[in-house]
Amino acid sequence: MGKEPADPLFEPVLSRVRVFEGKYLHLDRLRVRLPDQSETDREVVVVRDAVAVLPLEPDGTVHLIRQHRPAIGKTLIEVPAGLLDEKESPVEAAQRECEEETGYRPEKLIPLITYAHAEGYSTGFVTLYLGKDLIHTGQIRLDRTEFIEPVTLSLSELIGLIKAQKIFDSKTILCGLLTEAYLKQTW
């Protein structure tokens, strides 16, 4: 199904079957050839890429959200985040999601990192931003099935919660720690 790269660990895809088609994700079963020339199946969750932004005020205040996550049965404190809409850039999505969930629109977005959020089984990448020069629009526009509460903390309080292992969300942990490193000029 295409030219194989020189990587000796590369697993060429021999076939792909859509097993499940959902609203936000799909499940594909891939048949791949292993480096020893045997074959096996891989299950892959196909998702759109996502963005997350840590909106930071000049005084060190950060605007977060509190949201229940049924998959893990917990209500979490998180950075505003969401999936990219079709033909939307990560920057556009980050500004939109931040404003929709917090009522603050970052005029300046500093890219922190892009990472594969579950590389063992998912196609999705998440791009993280530090949001600055915030404009309070008050334009919170949640999806019909979104129920969130705003949370305002200082950056140091967020870092304290991360270190105390009270924050379980990887994008929030990364945004907090990378923002702290960026501000200390160690990132």
pLDDT at 84: 97
The answer as to whether 157 is a domain residue is yes
Clarify whether residues 62 and 91 are in a common domain. yes
Clarify whether residues 170 and 83 are in a common domain. yes
Clarify whether residues 28 and 70 are in a common domain. no
The answer as to whether 173 is a domain residue is yes
In order, the DSSP letters of 77-130 are: EE--EEEPPTT--HHHHHHHHHHHHHSEEEEEEEEEEEEETTTTTB--EEEEEE
Please give the residue range of the domain that contains residue 30.
Answer: 13-47
Q: pLDDT tens, position by position, for the chain (187 residues)?
A: 556 558 999 999 999 999 999 999 999 999 999 999 999 999 999 999 999 999 999 999 999 999 999 999 999 999 999 999 999 999 999 999 999 999 999 999 999 999 999 999 999 999 999 999 999 998 888 888 889 999 999 999 999 999 999 999 999 999 999 999 999 998 7
Clarify whether residues 70 and 151 are in a common domain. yes
Query: What's the rounded Cα separation, in Å, for the pair 169 and 163?
Result: 13
- Indicate the number of domains in the chain: 2
Clarify whether residues 124 and 153 are in a common domain. yes
Beta-bridge partner residues of 74: 69
Contact present, 96 and 84 (Cβ < 8 Å): no
The answer as to whether 117 is a domain residue is yes
